[in-house]
Amino acid sequence: MSAELKRLRRRPLLLPIAVALLIALAAACGIYWSQSNARTTVVVLVRHGEPAAGESGDPDLSRAGEQRAAGLGAYLDEVLAGRVVDHIYAADTRRSQQTAAPVANQFRLPVNLLAASDWEDLPSRIRRQHRGETVVVVGYAGTLPEVIRTLSAIDVAIEPEEYDALFIVALPSPGEARLFKLRYGPASPGKPAAQAP
């Protein structure tokens, strides 16, 4: 009888301990879930630099385009304020790859090439594969507005001679997308030139 009485006395002590452990486990799961889901994806979208005049098909960058692209990596490093670029996508043309190259060099990353058929799936690919990361996309005046609209639900237009526009889409999770438009200029001996929108 005394052994059974001892066993009954121990059971009430285990219940508060078990409840405390369950509460601590639930809190730890909640913290893990909120940290893993509450991340902001940053997508930087840039049009390729000015193409060389007179070249048909797949032109290289002009001298002005080369100068503009040369400062892009350092400009992004400054604008992103400590965030590193995790992935770079560029259209599969020489001018887009040449514009993306300084960013790739700045952040020591390969450039992922996008064929014409890849642009439609790019926004969902970014949301699916790059949550909480920083992604740079170099494209055209004809492809970037649709990617921006799909990511942010905001319509933008890029003028034919507008090579200095840089769009940043912030995708917080949870939260609504935000769109920022910046302007950047050709590299100078000190820092790249930045202009207000």
Lowest-pLDDT range of 20-24, 168-172, 193-197: 193-197
pTM of the complete model beyond 0.75: yes
Model confidence pLDDT, tens digit, residues 15-53: 667 667 777 777 776 666 555 555 899 999 999 999 998
pLDDT tops 50 at residue 13: yes
CA 13 to chain centroid:
52
State the CB neighbour count (10 A cutoff) for residue 175: 10
Q: Check residue 112 and report its DSSP letter.
A: E
Domain ranges, ordered by start, for the chain: 1-37, 39-195
More confident residue, 2 or 24: 24
CATH 3.40.50.300 fits 39-195, yes or no: no
pLDDT tops 70 at residue 3: no
Nearest to 92 by CA among 127, 57, 134: 57
* Structural tokens at position 38: 């509450």
Q: List all residues 6 or more positions away from 100 whose beta carbon is below 8 Å from its beta carbon.
A: 88, 90, 111, 136, 138
Element at 186 (helix H, strand E): none
User: Which pLDDT band holds residue 4 (cuts at 50, 70, 90)?
Assistant: low
Q: How many helices (H) and strands (E) does the chain have?
A: 6, 7
